[in-house]
Amino acid sequence: MNEEIDFILDSAEESMNAAIAHLEKSFLNIRAGKASPAMLGSVFVDYYGSQTPLNQVAKISIPDARTITVQPFEKNLLHTIEKAIMIANLGFNPMNNGDVVIISVPPLTEERRRDLAKQAKAEAEDAKISVRNVRKDANTDIKKLEKDGMSEDVCKSAEDEVQTLTNTYIKKIDELTAAKEAEIMKV
């Protein structure tokens, strides 16, 4: 019987870890004024009829804090890459010099920083909702075990463990959010 509770706790922790991983990935897409290859993570290029991630058809590098260069592996992709960046609607104005696509990352305005901070908070809230849903599912599974004859004390302590896990992950989400907000608001 206890291995069933261990399984419920392990799967709950795994799901909560997945929520944190998703949040961290979402935070990478929120730019904080500094150039980063992750900013172009959502750009897909039409490569011989199929949509291919930009980083698979070009080398993305950061020569300085405000510039991203994209060097295609095949020169005939220059205009396609330029168009794909425009279509991705990231707020960038790419230029090409015949060899590479150069993107100047504009400095963020105060208003844009606030919008990005709100976006980060919204992502964090989604992660918290995911963690709470995992808690609810785990508690439901534990209650089923109790109905099937498991002792009330064992089930109660399992529910307490689920709550402890939930508190730990919510705290981790708050810490990640505070760090991202500080990064965004730093001029």
Note the pLDDT tens digit of each residue in 3-50. Answer: 888 999 999 999 999 999 999 988 877 766 677 787 888 888 988 888
Residue 187: pLDDT band (50, 70, 90) is low
Mean pLDDT confidence for 97-107: 85
Whose tokens are 């009829």? That residue is 49
CB 185 within 8 A of CB 117: yes
| Burial group, residue 15, by CB count within 10 angstroms (0-12, 13-18, 19+) | middle
Q: Among 15-29, 84-98, 162-176, which stretch is predicted with the lowest mean pLDDT?
A: 84-98
Residue reference for tokens 């990064």: 183
pLDDT of residue 131: 95
Of 28-42, 45-59, 99-113, least confident by mean pLDDT is 28-42
Residue listed under structure tokens 């080398």: 59
DSSP state of 109: P
Distance CA 28, CA 92 (A): 17
Lowest mean pLDDT, pick from 4-13, 99-108, 164-173: 99-108
The Cα 92–Cα 171 span in angstroms is 35
Adjacent-strand bridge partners of 150: none
Q: Is the pLDDT of residue 101 over 80?
A: yes
pLDDT for 1 beyond 60: no
Are 69 and 101 contacting, i.e. CB atoms less than 8 angstroms apart?
Answer: yes
Average pLDDT of span 133-155: 90
Reply yes or no on whether the pLDDT at 114 is more than 60: yes
**Of 119, 155, 101, 104, whose CA–CA distance to 30 is shortest?**
119
Partners of residue 60 on adjacent β-strands: 70
Q: How many CB atoms lie within 10 A of CB 158?
A: 23
